[in-house]
Structure 1
């Protein structure tokens, strides 16, 4: 494994894009569109790539398909930026299998979601993550998203994991409790990598010492999201703030329906993908699609030109 400190340095201050999984109208994976999406993201300035996270509809993919998506992604990235695939599942053995696969194909780290639906208690969560971390020589970023898993990974549990598992190096917090995310760095240490998964907290998270964001919005506006991080990293606070507020209308509309349906609708409008989702997910209602189009139009030709020129 690459030195953990070197990995942390490469992914600190990063806009990590949780790339959607494109499908053909038939529902099969459109691997060519996936490769094109990844190439566009990198050329647009995104700092790192993730796949098969929430935005990638992992629960709608078979285990074999998740491996295929990871393998396609790492080939498309071709070493240009770090690769942090999502390997978590509600099934412990599947999480172990996918995390080991991520290591085998050369991922830089794995993003491991809190198991959903099962609602494990804190001790069970500790055992789950420790077993995964101990099984593979790969940096692990925990993914805490209580709104979709129905359980919140407590700060004390995360701190214990960070102390006992040297390769648990950070967390993606899709957690609207800003007191909670402040306490993550207090308890886990300021060197712990804290990523925002809540779009309106991406900039505020940087201000408290966060390491960046893993934002669904970056699928649609990769340059703007990356530039916000670049501005912060360069000390241009006003520019970072301006981009934060500039992105707010897009952030808002992309969560008018369940992610990634609005993001896929927007990417379809920009001509990047077929906006198909797999059942039980479906396209957003017409009124939400109309709102998405209106917001995209409000940016003038900026987003459309960016999508067309890369």
Structure 2
């Protein structure tokens, strides 16, 4: 297993050109800014629009980061796919390039699949990759995948692959589920990342590893400060500040809202582009988000204009 990632990770937004091709230059610039503000990079997560990005495009964007000097030790690429073959290809590429781990969504088209089916899927990927450096983080997002990562499934996978199955991201939004994951498995080195900074002050005291949150794209330094000082004299105010920013974005479709805001701070209108089937925010909704953020004193200090 490679170096473990803990702390604050961003499911990195993916910029597109007007042609709808990925914009690798802006992708690299955004990743650099996140690293400079103490966030690691969960590239190709839900908020990256990963399900709309092909295998060759994901590999090319990963290569662009590595060629630009972004440390592989800060990368947790999303490699899950409905196709077992695609998942293996993406995972092999990540491991071959020394990524710290891979975040693996379960196959999400067929509904009502059993733990046996999901165990077979993860087992097949792990066996086919066949590399001792592989660290798999299971991605629990049942409201989107309809294929939940149950405690029983985690137990089975850990029993079979104790040095490979490294943790989970819990995007269910259910604190009780995150709490059960942490309390059941974290003591054995299984790292659990809730998908919202709103849970940091609850998760960290009981062994949570940090968070992998959409709004790390917007507020990396603030969320990292909370991760570091949750139990200090400023912990409550840091949590409240992070929650305020989070609530503004989650009140509207988050991906187009975040891209709209990045377009303002980068002075790059193309940052607003989302790939179909997603659509951008209306002017009224975009102005509302920007007004609320301004009232909250929100900034993206040092964001590269391009």
Give TM-score, length-normalised by structure 1.
0.89
In structure 2, C-alpha distance between the alignment counterparts of 1:291 and 1:249, rounded to whole Å: 15
Which residue does 2:135 correspond to in 1? Answer: 139
Alpha carbons of structure 1 residues 103 and 148: separation in structure 2 relative to 1, 3 Å: same
* Number of the residue aligned with 1:148: 144
1:18-66 C-alpha deviation (Å, 9 max, x unpaired): 11111112211111101110111111222x2121111111111121101
Q: Does 1:228 align with 2:226?
A: yes
2:61 paired with 1:65 = no
Give the equivalent residue in structure 1 for 2:173.
176
SS of residue in 1 equivalent to 2:68? helix
Q: Does 1:256 align with 2:254?
A: no
**Is residue 246 from structure 1 mapped to residue 238 from structure 2 by the alignment?**
no
Aligned partners of 2:195 and 2:138: how far apart in 1?
12
* Aligned counterparts of 2:256 and 2:117: Cα–Cα separation in 1: 32
Q: Confirm whether residue 79 of structure 1 aligns to residue 74 of structure 2.
A: no
Contact 1:51/1:73, CA 8 A, preserved across alignment: no
Structure 2 residue aligned with 1:49, among 41, 56, 59?
41
Query: Is 1:279 matched up with 2:272?
Result: no
Indicate yes or no: 2:10 matched with 1:17: yes
| Deviation digits for residues 138-183 of structure 1 (CA, Å, limit 9, x no counterpart) | 1111111112112321111112112211200100001222222222
Residue in structure 2 matched with residue 270 of structure 1 by the alignment:
265
Number of positions where the alignment pairs a residue of Structure 1 with one of Structure 2:
298
In structure 2, relative to structure 1, the CA distance for the partners of 1:199 and 1:186 (3 Å cut) is closer
TM-score (norm. length: structure 2): 0.90
* Per-residue CA distance 1:264-283 (angstroms, 9 max, x = gap): 11211222652100111111
Contact 1:16 1:50 in 2 (8 A): yes
Residue of structure 2 aligned with 1:105, choices 85, 94, 97: 97
Alignment of 1:174-213 (within 5 A): 174-190=171-187, 191-213=189-211
Contact kept, 8 Å, 1:175 with 1:198, in 2: the verdict is no
| Structure 2 residue ranges without an equivalent (≥5) | none
Structure 2 CA distance, aligned partners of 1:77 and 1:170? 26
Q: For residues 34 and 63 of structure 1, do their structure 2 counterparts lie closer, same or farther at Cα, with a shift above 3 Å needed?
A: same
Considering only aligned residues, what root-mean-square deviation do their CA atoms show, in Å? Answer: 2.1
* Structure 1 contact 39–76 (Cα < 8 Å) conserved: no
Contact 1:140–1:167 (Cα < 8 Å) also in 2? yes
For 1:139 and 1:50, the matched residues in 2 are separated by 13
Partners of 1:111 and 1:207 in 2: how far apart? 24
1:292 corresponds to: 289
Secondary structure of the corresponding residue to residue 234 of structure 2: helix
- For 1:39, which of 32, 35, 38 is the aligned residue? 32
Gaps of 5+ in 1: none
